[in-house]
Amino acid sequence: MKEKLETLISSLEQATSHSDLQDVVLKLRDLYDVDHVVYHSVNRAGEQYAALTYDPEWVDRYIEQDYARIDPVVQGCYQRFNPVDWKQLDWSSPRARHFMTEAAEAGVGNQGLSVPIRGPNGQFALFTACSRASDKTWENYSRSHVSDLILVAHFINQKALEIDNGTDVQKSASLSPREIDTLSLLAMGYSRAQAAESLSISEHTLRVYIESARFKLGAQNTTHAVARAISHGLIVV
């Protein structure tokens, strides 16, 4: 999986247009062996951009019917900060069930993991990977890949902001050398215990560095902090 992530990051670093970003999304779908990948962003002016692998007819239908108003994934992610498994959402209303039926007929998977992203100046984005896997298969898959998908989501969002003339790109935070060392080890896959041992500090001290870096980066959690540090060029994996 590390090689897959490195391949994707390399492609993202070279992307300079929306077309390039669409190519990355297609590659991501194949690398991570899911049915569809979607990145959708709304900036501070209400302008929308999407890079996705859905059938164009379904995209047109979704826009025509304004399904964002009733889509449990969109509505649920507006209210959350952490990754959302579609099974956690409320699909009980008649409108939601009708929407789900149409989506399934259009080839949208019955399983999905969506990452809400709140960018600078009111930007909101949503990154989704979905599949037609069984409950058990998807449970194992999402548990194994959630960290990678969070990182990828924030990388793609940062690149999309850069492509849009950099108008919404956040200024890089300034991290201390110890904060950089800590996030670098975590990004390389070290556990907290291993990172603390490598730096010859206690896990309590390591946690202080993590929380400090998270605050400076405006991150919701440790994985988000690592993603932002990488996307801002503060650490290199």
pLDDT per residue as tens digits for the range 156-180:
988 888 888 654 445 556 888 889 9
Task: Provide the residue ranges of all domains of the chain, joining segments of one domain with +.
Answer: 2-163, 177-231
pTM: 0.73
pLDDT tens sequence across 112-121: 999 988 776 6
CATH code assigned to 2-163: 3.30.450.80
Does the pLDDT value for residue 64 go beyond 60?
yes
Does the pLDDT value for residue 22 go beyond 90?
yes
Q: What is the pLDDT of residue 237?
A: 58
HEC states along the chain?
A: CHHHHHHHHHHHHHCCCHHHHHHHHHHHHHHCCCCEEEEEEECCCCCEEEEECCCHHHHHHHHHCCHHHCCHHHHHHHCCCCCEEHHHCCCCCHHHHHHHHHHHHCCCCCEEEEEEEECHHHCEEEEEEEECCCHHHHHHHHHHHHHHHHHHHHHHHHHHHHHCCCCCCCCCCCCCHHHHHHHHHHHCCCCHHHHHHHHCCCHHHHHHHHHHHHHHHCCCCHHHHHHHHHHCCCCCC
Question: Do 2-163 and 177-231 agree at the fold level?
Answer: no
- Confidence bin at 74 (pLDDT 50/70/90): very high
Between 1.10.10.10, 3.30.460.80, 3.40.710.10, 3.40.50.720, what CATH number should domain 177-231 receive?
A: 1.10.10.10
Does the pLDDT value for residue 193 go beyond 70?
yes
- Read off the pLDDT of each residue in 17-34 and give the average, rounded to a whole number: 92
